[in-house]
Structure 1
Amino acid sequence: MKNETTVADSENPKRASDDALLAYCDGYFAELMENSLTDEARQKRGLAPKPAAQLTEKERYLKARQTGKFNLNRAMRRRVDRKLGPERGLGARVFIGFDAEWTRSRKGRNRILSVQFYLIGPTGEVLTLVIYIENGDILSQRPLLGDVINELLEAALDDGTIEEWPAEVVLCGFFTRADITVFSDFKHLRPQLDGVGGTLVTVGKAAKFELPMSATRRAVLKQRYQSVVGDEFEPHLLSLRLIDASRLAPPGKSLANIGHWLGIPKIDLPAGYDKSDMTRFQRERREEFEAYGLRDAEIAVMYVLWVIWFSTRHLGLDMRHLSATASGLAVRIGESCIRRDGVALNVALNYEVKQITRWDNTRGVPYSQKKRIPKQARRWLEPFLADVFIGGHNQCFVYGPTDRRRFYDPDLSGAYLTALAYLFVLDYDAVRWTTNIDDFIGHVAGFALVEFEFPEDVAYPCLPVSTEDRGLLFPRRGQSLCTAPEIELAKAMGATKLIIKHGLVIPWMARDTVFARSADAPGKHRSKTKETPGNDAPQDGLLATDKQAFPPEHYGDDGYRLFESFAIFIRDMRSPYARKTLPFEFVKLLGNSLYGKTGQGFKRKRAFGVREMDSVVVGTSRVSEAAVAALVCGFIRAVIGEILWKLPKGATLVSATTDGFLVDCPIDQLDLTGTLCRRFQALVDRVSPGSHMLENKHQVMQLFAGRTRLQFTVEADGDHKTVTAKGGIKPGPDVKDENAFMLDLTLNRQPGQKLTYESFMSMRDQLPLELDLQTETRETRINLEYDFKRRPIPSSARMIPMAGTGQSHLAFDTEPWNTVDEALATRLIFDAWRDDHCLKTLEDFQAWEYYRAFKMANLKGAKPAAPSSAESGPRTGRKNLTKGGYLAVAKQLFLGAYQKKMWGLDGADLSQRKLAEWLTLQGYKTSVSAVKNGTREQPVEHLVPATDEVVAFLAKMKERFPGLEAAKFLIR
């Protein structure tokens, strides 16, 4: 039966066309893949070691052209009518790369200079087209996409680049929002596109696009393919799929990076020419201008082809189902792994299929529709579980430059990919609510609202408290929505209070139950035996490897580990390739993408909908499950928290960022014997045997720590990789050394300083007004100050020299806040103070401490104003700083206490006039009316910081009025 399927596929013209393209890619990408292998992998495959001298990108490209890998047709030929017959089948897909070149004309409108197309046939033949545009800033003068594609396809048929009219055209660009919008008929295509990551793609169903085809030509094509695709075939309605290569590339990789990987170097502009003035380049060096644009189109389409080829040949995915994003590919692989294990997706992910009957108003008849939805028990619990799904462990534990010694950057090995193997299938039917702490100990799926308190000697509390706009805080006491691993860790750390206010545990579904339910479930999922490639062709199916059996060894597990096969498969796919090569980075991207999809759609985030031209709520993915996302994230937070708790005494912890931390302690001196670390290492042993749970990513001699996600290198440590986390600051495209930029910016920053940068306009601004994509100059206020997620320790404030700069900068250590309210109040106060100040020196820190203390005392001592007018009633205790500063506040308090005979002034003997004259004589200019106003003051104790001028003032007052209780004025 299997052989019959294979024969049938080979006789299918559509699949034959796909196979021809794959065969072409086999040869084209063979050298790239071979050069990406590690020396060990090359040896295992019997390949010779890499030669010491490698060809340059340009040399590889020229060699490929000489050996016939490229068949460039620089000009399109005139169409020649050919005899058409029903014996020839409809072609599968045609891949076309495209790119546009322009210069800015005016706000919202560019002058389009040219559009380039790079069409690749099923056996590698190439047809190119460059369209030059006059008056390209006028929409009506720009080409119609339908015209261009129709002309390209006809020309490709004429010269044999393609043999059949395509079933679908795949249009490939790099950041397509810039290029697809230049066509004058884009508005007709836009309602069928989707916005993903700030660009435009086709997700799911292909767009239908009308070609300007004559009635005669339509009739000829329809007659030709009618016997193959039926009477409904309309050749002028083209299926069009838009793919953006940037959404399939690792984050931050440019077109030049991709071209480097593919051995197709992006062409640099000649000396003296600039991207902002392409008009001159086009006018003076037209042939080079044409090559420049065509190369961009070529890289885009070749990268898309590589992704499709690699996904088909190496990942076992079906070429007929294209994914627009790397995360979409990751979901397909994850689903394939589960099916390959013999588990039904709906059983694994707790979905059910409901049949819904609706009424068709057009036809006047009812119709049935199947809908896949989460199981009822899961739907009931999902809102609570979504609230437990919060962020990573992100904190900065010191501020300023570190002392000069070696610092390390250990990361959890494949943190989220490995942690996905932590989970078994959840059994929502057996869920139980509990407030018993013991129910949350061990490898359980527990979620709870916990009231907690840690003792004073715990330096790094582990229970997160989510704030509205300040991320996660880790105070000593409060209430936390958290997971079982974090509760287990809090108990081990000696939390003095740990009360489950509301808690639930979802048991793991028994392994036998998972497979039994899967056997009875409808749909296609494989048995437990290893399969060979090519079976079950219409479905995505992973290729068998010598290393991995499906399902993987369960080691006596009671349940089925939901994503363990995915994690192992990603490891096996990545392991033969050297780091920084294309296949390694691409598979790494896929591995890191799946976890994010498990948490998609639960936070009611909104995005701009290209079809709706309005904000829409981001929906769930096919693998979204709030409990899965929450537990994985909580487990990683707990593992990091346990490592921090067990740091050696005296170790300097700089920061923690999600799955890693900066510390002056090498990995071999870290205590990884805790329960959660052993649990994580056990997962690493299953997913990647022989690997250590921690991997050192960077190593430096001195760091600067600003705030969460803002740490950079002051002094490197030899050739080790340095740390540069910019905290959202954008240095700009002209900055060559971002670390040096951050260092200079930090040392020379001023209060309120702004940074100018260029960024693309948003889709919300561009598409409704049918504007061209342009950059906009924006200003952002730089933020290099501490974020106060932890409390600064005043006694630790000091100045530390920054190596190689000749300058010193403020530094201090921190401790946990007692409560979140303290942290948030302090942060609000600091946000006001930093309008006119920076934390750079000890004097700055002292000024901040005075300001904070004064504002906090105001908050505690302020009383509500009397219902009567301010003129007739006493003033509240809240004071604002005026030009006179803290001294003016101290004088106001003194006058109020004097008039009311308080704070040891009950025996004061000076009249209002005499007191005003005496104060003025002492250097504190005071009017009689100011003394009289003291009757309206309501003195509040401990309101003024003990600045030098305040202390001197109080000393002078006490000389004249010995009974004065000066301590009543000062903040304790």
Structure 2
Amino acid sequence: MSTDKPVMSGSRSAKLRLREANGTFSKSRIWVERDNFYGDTKFSKGNPYIIVGFDTEFKTPEKPVTIDEMKAGSAKYVVLSYQVHCSVYDPDQPDVQEWSAICYPEPGDRMTLADLLALAFWKGISTGAVKTLPTLVYVVGHFTRADVPAFADFKSLTSQIAAVRSTFTSVDKGVKIVTQFDNDQSVEHLVILRDTMLLTPATSKSLWELGKLVGVPKISVDPDPERELFYKKNMDILLRDKPDVFEKYAINDALICVKYLERLIDMYAGILGKRKAPATLTAIGVDLLMKKWKTDLKIDPLEVVGKQKIVRRTYSKRLGYFKIEKVNVPLEQVAFYLPLATECYHGGRGEQFWFGPAFIDDWTDYDLAGAYPTAMALIGFPDWSNIRQSTSLDDFTPGTLGMANVRFEFPKTVRFPTMPVRSENGLVFPRTGVSNCSAPEIALARSLGAKLKILHGVIVPTDPGKPVFRDFIRECVAKRLSYPKGSLDALFWKELSNSSYGKTAQGLHSKRVYDLRDQEMKDLPPSKITNPFFAAFITSFVRAALGEVMNGLPENVCVFSCTTDGFLTNATADQISDASAGPICKLYGQSRDMLTGDATILEVKHRVRQPLGWRTRGQATLIEGQTDKGDGVNIVLAKGGIYTAQELDSTRLQNAFITNLFLKRSPTDRIEMATKTGIRDMINFDADLVEKETSKRLNMEFDWKRRPVAAWDNEAPQHLAFTTDAWETIDQFVEMRGYWEAFGIDPRRCLKNKGDFHAFAVYVLSQSALGKAGARYLKKTDPDLKRIRQSLCAAWRNSEAGLTKKVDGKTAEQFAQLLTSAGIICNRQDVENARSGFKPKNCPKTPAVVNALVKLSAVFPSLEIDTLVSSNEGIDLISALDAIATYIPQGGEPSTL
């Protein structure tokens, strides 16, 4: 279509390649006039705006790109099309119609963002769908990290948008685009970029799921599933073979984005009275919560989080003068205790209590119902002005907003100690030590019989009759239950309550995010409701509830693993009920009852017959459960960071892959991962979203957060298995991690059978018994026997440790044979090479060493065994091979223990 009317454009020609009705392509010139635009670029209650849903279709390289190709600028896809679907919100124009458009760029050519908007505006005006257009524009896509790099002006756009959770969105002022007209007139558009990935519930992140929620299902391109998958991987061939299907499929993705954003804006307006689309779904929850504080509690939100607004005078190097600004800072009486409260904030409890295949039984995966919202609802309005120090255990009850540095010691009868200690490898729960934790865990430890001494404690008085989160959460729950299960509205309200906890902890522990404007990593800033006292209490209460139930189970019941707010066990329903009767669980149930009218504490997530475990968040299923529910319900699967290929599109397929990987793994295995280019790749190498060559070593070994106490070779399937107990101290865990890194990582090793376990156990005992200096030259293979051989040969040559070379009258050859017959492989050269001086107590006291020395003492009665072996007992894992696990299956096939 040719015209001499003014053209909207950035720095490029707005001549686009469009497909005519007869299927041919033509060059068409798009146009708009100054009179086509109205309004301003400010948000207000009734300010009109246009939503431009956008999407691109592209063809990626046939194989993943290498780092060299990325550096050379070859990490590019071929853009096949740009498509938009548009709608306008304007109460004064109720008859505005929606419209769509698609553009096919010339090979190697790309559109700017201004070009895309020009296409959208021109199509709406030229078709009569709309006469005039607002200057305020929402541009929305799904996973914009894939599509924004397709713009020719991508690099300049990065200075005006932000990277949030590995995708692109606007977080402040948006993108300003000025349109110049031939008569020297211009119009400024404010473009707000939104990504539906950041605005969708956790269970509905795919565009397919999103389409179902808004009643616009994804379009199938071929009835044959294999051809469908082929075409989606080769959209260029779909365009060639089925151009009409291609176009319908492409535009439909943009349509889904528009429909979802419309629904979201409507819901936001209904809640907060403003027609606005926040950058993230969690931002809506924070806005609603703060509104309730203002309207229901009649208080300033700053009072709730212990802050105040002050005026501060700061010098701006950029401006060259002092600025006066208002900032929020902690109250003076609160600021003093913030370091302790921050140290008391930890994440969820994650431990693997059993390594390898479990026995066949009825295993149930339980989750605490609504864990974090339930804990949040217990927090009353804090009286920050009367915050006080306390070392009295009586002050730290399950519902107290209290933090402390505590020395603790649990009795041996407690299977799962509950005081968290932070390490470089996550939380560890040793039997003794010093913990920074909150009141719920202090109260629980006390009820379990632990010896406790509060070294430094802080109590924040609260008003339980004025809860700060309960009404907000209760409203979210009520709203969710008022809608059909699985509907967009129900999922929306569920997400608001579940995600608000994370905002109380945002910025407490360093989390680095990439800043597009400065092109560097920066710490994630705090949110409007960040408060370490709240975050520490919430997570502590959840860990305490979990710990109370697990420790309430009988000793012959197995707890296989725990992760954040759930655990896997073979306990019966009655045993779970009895274990959930403690004071913390009662308080938990009361909170649930206030929120939902249902005091149920635990929910069943999965049922399986034989689980497989290897590390924290590393579990799979060997034998599925026997319920009548579908794929996934009868399978426990936590991949532990292991990548599964896209074609493994069901839980069952992924589980089969993971279990096979574990059982057949070797020390040299690597996982080839089809990862995508990240935001830093896109900035540094001008890359598009393409697959890049990535592989990492397979790591499915135990993480040593617990101490093995009984180990054996399981029969079906054949693999090492062991049960565990708590470490005595955090130092033992750190020491053990160091031993594994030295033994199992260089060179790589796997623990697959008793022989592997024994080799590592001997190494650990040898290293720990001799200490750093004594173990300096120990071998990794048979270190105990090789060291005792060295010591015996040196003692014999130097007449030490009860050995007298002259009196015995043995030759070096004969002495070597005697050592070999006692189980110490030795030859004449080993004896003759032992020329260095004898070092007493330089051998680890392993069973193999003791057995060999006992045999030798029959030949050499004067042999001084205590002079040869270390008096330090070291860490003994070897005895686990002779121990028997105490867990008794509750039914089904017998254990192989």
SS in 2 for 1:560: strand
Cα deviation for residue 653 of structure 1 reads: 0.8
| Matching residue of 2:190 | 239
Structure 2 CA distance for partners of 1:940 and 1:367, relative to 1, 3 Å: closer
Q: In 2, distance between residues paired with 1:776 and 1:631? A: 42
| Matching residue of 2:714 | 800
| Superposition TM-score, scaled by structure 2 size | 0.84
Q: Give matches, 1:419-568, under 5 Å.
A: 419-441=375-397, 443-468=399-424, 470-495=425-450, 497-508=451-462, 510=463, 557=464, 559-568=465-474
Residue 102 (1) aligns with residue 10 (2): no
| Matching residue of 1:340 | 295
| 1:725 maps to amino acid | A
Structure 2 CA distance for partners of 1:87 and 1:760, relative to 1, 3 Å: closer
Residue 727 (1) aligns with residue 640 (2): yes
Residue 349 (1) aligns with residue 305 (2): yes
| Matching residue of 2:255 | 298
Residue 839 (1) aligns with residue 791 (2): no
| Matching residue of 2:16 | none
Q: In 1, distance between residues paired with 2:315 and 2:844? A: 72
Do the aligned partners of 1:448 and 1:483 also contact (CA within 8 Å) in 2?
Answer: yes
Residue 791 (1) aligns with residue 715 (2): no
Structure 2 CA distance for partners of 1:400 and 1:356, relative to 1, 3 Å: same
Q: Give matches, 1:804-843, under 5 Å.
A: 807-835=717-745, 836-843=748-755
Unpaired segments ≥5 residues, structure 1: 1-73, 220-234, 511-556, 864-875
Do the aligned partners of 1:752 and 1:834 also contact (CA within 8 Å) in 2?
Answer: no
| Matching residue of 2:104 | 132
Structure 2 CA distance for partners of 1:877 and 1:692, relative to 1, 3 Å: closer
Cα deviation for residue 568 of structure 1 reads: 0.3
Q: In 2, distance between residues paired with 1:898 and 1:660? A: 59
Structure 2 CA distance for partners of 1:358 and 1:450, relative to 1, 3 Å: closer
Q: Matched residue pairs, number? A: 803
| Matching residue of 1:761 | 677
| 2:278 maps to amino acid | S
Structure 2 CA distance for partners of 1:741 and 1:929, relative to 1, 3 Å: closer
Residue 687 (1) aligns with residue 595 (2): yes
Structure 2 CA distance for partners of 1:396 and 1:312, relative to 1, 3 Å: same
Cα deviation for residue 173 of structure 1 reads: 0.6
Do the aligned partners of 1:449 and 1:480 also contact (CA within 8 Å) in 2?
Answer: yes
Q: Deviations along 1:155-191, whole A, 9 cap, x unmatched?
A: 4234443343313111111110111111111222211
Unpaired segments ≥5 residues, structure 2: 1-25, 62-68, 874-897
| 2:191 maps to amino acid | L
Q: In 2, distance between residues paired with 1:85 and 1:412? A: 54
Q: Give matches, 1:190-229, under 5 Å.
A: 190-211=158-179, 213-216=180-183, 219=185
Q: In 2, distance between residues paired with 1:415 and 1:932? A: 65
SS in 2 for 1:909: helix
Q: Deviations along 1:118-153, whole A, 9 cap, x unmatched?
A: 1123357222221112233xxxx3112112313422
Cα deviation for residue 928 of structure 1 reads: 5.7
SS in 2 for 1:120: strand
| 1:625 maps to amino acid | N
Structure 2 CA distance for partners of 1:85 and 1:169, relative to 1, 3 Å: closer
Residue 935 (1) aligns with residue 839 (2): no
Structure 2 CA distance for partners of 1:666 and 1:164, relative to 1, 3 Å: farther
Q: Give matches, 1:262-341, under 5 Å.
A: 262-270=214-222, 272=227, 273-313=230-270, 316-341=271-296
Residue 963 (1) aligns with residue 887 (2): no
| Matching residue of 2:881 | none
Cα deviation for residue 462 of structure 1 reads: 0.9
| Matching residue of 2:803 | 905
Q: In 2, distance between residues paired with 1:442 and 1:363? A: 52
Q: In 2, distance between residues paired with 1:898 and 1:366? A: 83
Q: In 2, distance between residues paired with 1:896 and 1:683? A: 70
Residue 655 of structure 1 is aligned with which of 557, 561, 564? 561
Q: In 2, distance between residues paired with 1:402 and 1:746? A: 14
| 1:335 maps to amino acid | M
Structure 2 CA distance for partners of 1:333 and 1:76, relative to 1, 3 Å: farther
| Superposition RMSD in Å | 3.0
Question: Percent of pairs identical after alignment?
Answer: 30
Do the aligned partners of 2:812 and 2:831 also contact (CA within 8 Å) in 1?
Answer: no
| Superposition TM-score, scaled by structure 1 size | 0.78
Residue 601 (1) aligns with residue 507 (2): yes
Q: Deviations along 1:633-672, whole A, 9 cap, x unmatched?
A: 1111111111122113421111111111111124443222
Q: In 2, distance between residues paired with 1:126 and 1:632? A: 46
Residue 774 (1) aligns with residue 690 (2): yes
SS in 1 for 2:168: strand
Cα deviation for residue 351 of structure 1 reads: 2.3
| Matching residue of 1:895 | 793
User: Which piece of structure 1 moves more, 450-459 or 341-350?
Assistant: 341-350
Q: In 1, distance between residues paired with 2:679 and 2:34? A: 44
Do the aligned partners of 2:57 and 2:80 also contact (CA within 8 Å) in 1?
Answer: yes
Q: Deviations along 1:661-699, whole A, 9 cap, x unmatched?
A: 111124443222211111111111111112412111111
SS in 2 for 1:268: coil
Q: In 1, distance between residues paired with 2:457 and 2:105? A: 66
Q: In 2, distance between residues paired with 1:207 and 1:162? A: 23
Do the aligned partners of 1:900 and 1:935 also contact (CA within 8 Å) in 2?
Answer: no
Structure 2 CA distance for partners of 1:586 and 1:76, relative to 1, 3 Å: farther
Residue 585 (1) aligns with residue 517 (2): no
Do the aligned partners of 2:311 and 2:324 also contact (CA within 8 Å) in 1?
Answer: yes
| Matching residue of 1:149 | 117
Q: Deviations along 1:542-601, whole A, 9 cap, x unmatched?
A: xxxxxxxxxxxxxxx4x4211111110111111123433333223222221100011001
Residue 165 of structure 1 is aligned with which of 129, 133, 141? 133
| 1:756 maps to amino acid | E
| Matching residue of 1:709 | 617
Q: Deviations along 1:67-92, whole A, 9 cap, x unmatched?
A: xxxxxxx9999768797899999961
| 2:589 maps to amino acid | Q
| 2:839 maps to amino acid | Q
Cα deviation for residue 364 of structure 1 reads: 9.3
Q: Give matches, 1:249-264, under 5 Å.
A: 249-251=200-202, 253-264=205-216
Structure 2 CA distance for partners of 1:579 and 1:667, relative to 1, 3 Å: farther
Q: In 1, distance between residues paired with 2:212 and 2:700? A: 35
| 1:729 maps to amino acid | I
Q: Deviations along 1:818-853, whole A, 9 cap, x unmatched?
A: 001111111221233334432222333223322222
Q: In 1, distance between residues paired with 2:529 and 2:312? A: 22
Do the aligned partners of 1:76 and 1:129 also contact (CA within 8 Å) in 2?
Answer: no
